[in-house]
Structure 1
Amino acid sequence: MSAIEAFVLALIQGLTEFLPISSSAHLILPSAVLGWDDQGLAFDVAVHVGSLAAVMIYFRKEVVALFTAWIASMFKGDRSPEAKLAWLIIVATLPAGILGFVLDDFIDAYLRSAYVIACTTIVFGLLLWWADKTSRLEYNEYQATWKKALIIGFAQAAAMIPGTSRSGATMTAALFLGFNREAAARFSFLMSMPIILAAGGYLGAKTVATGATIAMMPLLVGIFVSFASAYACIHLFLKLVTRVGMLPFVIYRLALGVFLMGFLLLGS
């Protein structure tokens, strides 16, 4: 992998990891349109590291507060809003963690196709539009309940289907449940941390097991570019989402899905 390829792929990953537009739909474009080879497991780990660092540093105050309150809830019986939110994030992570372990091989074998990605990009884009249009926009993340956290967690699990978008699925579920737009985004970003950490660890273990030779330059480019682009993406999205809503991202998803479907049909 060249440095240019690493830069482009890491930029795509960083920008699309936290936007509701599907990173997998974008990552097939270089291979489908430009004929680039698969980036490999080691590079996947690198961009996960960059994305995780971005969201943890951006929400560093919340991370410290939630972790401290979570520890206090176990040893001191802390029942603060931060402690409750920390436990809700853990609950919301469980469905994807369990189902990801069980269904990973099935998804790789049957659902990781360009046609599936094109279809889910469109279908879940329409669901995002419906959720944004009908949401009551009443609640913030601290007003989440165990039931709501679990529903959002299953939405995150559904995002294992390529093209769905993890952030898109979780924000869609949160909006359907009455969260306001910023709260839906913040809850989605906070619950991304354990799942990205788990995914990065899993991919890292697979990389070590393969014993493949690793070129360091593409990995370093991947880490730094995905970090910078993801950090900027989180900042700008939170600034804009309450003003512009989800419609621009819905339109983008529909256009991307139609483009991918047309490209695949014309190329077949």
Structure 2
Amino acid sequence: MDWLQIFVLSIVQGLTEFLPISSSAHLILVPVFTNWDDQGLVFDVALHIGSLSAVVLYFRHELVGMTTSWCRSVAGRGTDDEARLAWWVILATIPVGLAGLAFEDTVQGVMRSPLVIAGGLIGFGLLLAYADWRHRGTRNEYRLSWRDALWIGFAQALALIPGTSRSGITMTAGLLLGLSREGAARFSFLLSIPVIVLAGGLEILHLADATVPVDWGALIMGALLSGVSAYLCIHFFLVFIKRIGMQPFVVYRLVLGVALLWLFGGA
């Protein structure tokens, strides 16, 4: 894998992991349009470690508070807003974890088609457009109920379909449930932490019995580039959506989806 491929894949992963435009779709499409060989599971794990490091660093203060309060609640010393938020993140992660185990082979096989990606980009993009257009919510992530968290968790399971976008579908669900744009985005970003850990852990299990050469320079560079771009993406996205909303991302999804239908629809 040359340095151009490392740079492109790392930046694509870092930017699209947290934008509502589907990182999995973009990582599938990059080799399609460039004729590059598949980057392999080892490099995918490195990219996800970079993205995970970025979101943990960005929300480090919230995570410390949530973890401390959650431990107190487990010990029977009361439950505050931070402890509840930690519980809701755990609850919302369960559906996607179960769905991922049940449908892993299907997701990794026939569903990686450009036409499936196009359908996900367009269909769930229109749903995001509706949720953002009608949103009147003012609640932040600390005002979620357990029912809200569970609904968002079920929505997150749909992100196994390439083109859906994990961040996009969870933000859509949050908006429909009455969260503010920023609240929906922040809860989506917090949800990404256990999801990335689970997905990365599954990939590592797949690698356990495989003998593959390790290019440590490529892995370190990929993780660093992915982490830096992901951190900047989170910061500027939260600033951006408060003023402009989700519609620019909807337009991008629709344009990309239509382009994929045009390019691959006759195949």
For normalisation by structure 1, the TM-score amounts to 0.97
Aligned equivalent of 2:42: 42
SS in 1 for 2:256: helix
Q: Does 1:177 align with 2:215?
A: no
Contact conserved, 1:51 with 1:230, CA < 8 A, in 2? yes
Aligned equivalent of 1:192: 192
In structure 2, give the amino acid aligned to 1:147.
R
Aligned equivalent of 1:67: 67
Aligned equivalent of 2:20: 20
- Correspondences of 1:203-218 after superposition (within 5 Å): 203-218=203-218
SS in 2 for 1:210: coil
Deviation at 1:24, TM superposition (A): 2.1
SS in 1 for 2:19: coil
- Correspondences of 1:1-268 after superposition (within 5 Å): 1-265=1-265, 268=267
CA RMSD of aligned residues (A): 1.1
In structure 2, give the amino acid aligned to 1:256.
L
1:95-128 C-alpha deviation (Å, 9 max, x unpaired): 0011111111122233121110011111111000
How many matched pairs? 267
Percent of counterpart pairs with the same letter?
Answer: 52
Deviation at 1:215, TM superposition (A): 1.5
Deviation at 1:34, TM superposition (A): 1.3
Q: Which runs of 4+ in 1 moved over 3 A?
A: none
Paired with 2:113 and 2:104, the residues of 1 have a C-alpha distance of: 14
Unaligned runs of 5+ in 2: none
Contact conserved, 1:54 with 1:231, CA < 8 A, in 2? yes
1:3-47 C-alpha deviation (Å, 9 max, x unpaired): 210110010000000000111222233212111111100011001
Deviation at 1:226, TM superposition (A): 0.4
1:48-90 C-alpha deviation (Å, 9 max, x unpaired): 1000000000000001000111101011332110011110110
Contact conserved, 1:128 with 1:172, CA < 8 A, in 2? yes
SS in 1 for 2:132: helix
Deviation at 1:213, TM superposition (A): 1.5
Deviation at 1:225, TM superposition (A): 0.5
SS in 1 for 2:209: helix
Contact conserved, 1:3 with 1:217, CA < 8 A, in 2? no
Contact conserved, 1:3 with 1:221, CA < 8 A, in 2? no
Paired with 1:43 and 1:154, the residues of 2 have a C-alpha distance of: 29
Paired with 2:260 and 2:24, the residues of 1 have a C-alpha distance of: 12
Paired with 1:2 and 1:16, the residues of 2 have a C-alpha distance of: 21
Paired with 1:56 and 1:209, the residues of 2 have a C-alpha distance of: 29
Report the more deviating stretch, 10-19 or 211-220.
211-220
Paired with 2:154 and 2:254, the residues of 1 have a C-alpha distance of: 23
Report the more deviating stretch, 64-73 or 26-35.
26-35
Paired with 1:254 and 1:209, the residues of 2 have a C-alpha distance of: 41
Paired with 1:39 and 1:24, the residues of 2 have a C-alpha distance of: 13
